[in-house]
Amino acid sequence: MKLLSYITIITVGFILIIVNQTDVTNYNTVQDKVLQESIKRGNDVYADFCITCHLDSGEGVKNTFPPLANSDYLKTNRESSIKGLKYGLKGKITVNGKVYNSYMAPQGLGNDEIADVMNYINHSWGNTYGEIVTEEEVAKIKK
Ligand code: HEC
């Protein structure tokens, strides 16, 4: 009788583990799809609003417009980057060891467009920066 209970507990345990893993896999797939769609929309936003200064491959313009590709600023300043896109970015910042002391005006984007373009620049040109940015996250960031 005791042996049978052990077997039952172990079997139920295994089933729970398997069910759980399937859930995690589905969740990740859905998240990936949401991110991929957002990146696609972000590509259009980038082409319309950012490419003139930060250029095609996010390389920027030497001493004038900082790079986004491989930018340590973008990688480690998620909130300031979003804030910059929402309200403008002014004053001294250091990007990959170079100081920029300039101004980027807000581009008049909606919170959804800012989320999309953030996802695009965080996951382009070899960048793999962080979790998906959502419209809700952008909405919460104040001046
Ligand atoms: C008119 C030129 C211009 C446009 C257009 C522009 N930027 Fe910028 N961007 C700048 C400048 C200049 C800075 C540096 C500001 C400073 O020195 O404080 C900057 C800084 C940044 C930074 C932080 C520094 C870095 O390199 O990681 C990010 C992120 C960024 N821009 C993203 C964007 C995105 C996304 C768009 C399009 C929605 C955009 N920018 C449009 C000129 C521009």
One digit per residue, the tens of pLDDT, for the chain of length 143 reads: 677 787 777 777 676 666 566 666 677 788 899 999 999 999 999 999 999 999 999 999 999 999 999 999 999 999 999 999 999 999 999 999 999 999 999 999 999 999 999 999 999 999 999 999 999 999 999 99
Using an 8 Å Cβ cutoff, are 42 and 99 in contact?
A: no
Spatial distance between the Cα atoms of 87 and 107, rounded to a whole number of angstroms: 9
Instruction: List pocket residues of ligand 1, CB cut-off 6 Å.
Output: 49-50, 52-54, 65-68, 71, 73-74, 81, 84-85, 89-91, 93, 95, 100-104, 107, 117, 121
Q: What is the pLDDT of residue 31?
A: 85
CA 41 from chain centre, in angstroms, equals: 13
Ligand 1 centroid to residue 90 C-alpha, Å = 10
Q: What is the pLDDT of residue 33?
A: 95
Q: Which domains does the chain have, with CATH numbers?
A: 2-140 (1.10.760.10)
Spatial distance between the Cα atoms of 86 and 17, rounded to a whole number of angstroms: 43
Q: What is the pLDDT of residue 25?
A: 64
Q: For 73-85, give the DSSP string.
A: HHHH-HHHHHHHH
Most informative mutation of 46, 98, 104, 111 for ligand 1 (most atoms within 8 A of CB): 104
Using an 8 Å Cβ cutoff, are 96 and 72 in contact?
A: yes
Spatial distance between the Cα atoms of 59 and 91, rounded to a whole number of angstroms: 20
Predicted TM-score (pTM) of this structure: 0.87
Q: What residues form DSSP beta bridges with 100?
A: 93
Q: What is the pLDDT of residue 18?
A: 61
Residue nearest atom 13 of ligand 1, based on CA coordinates: 104
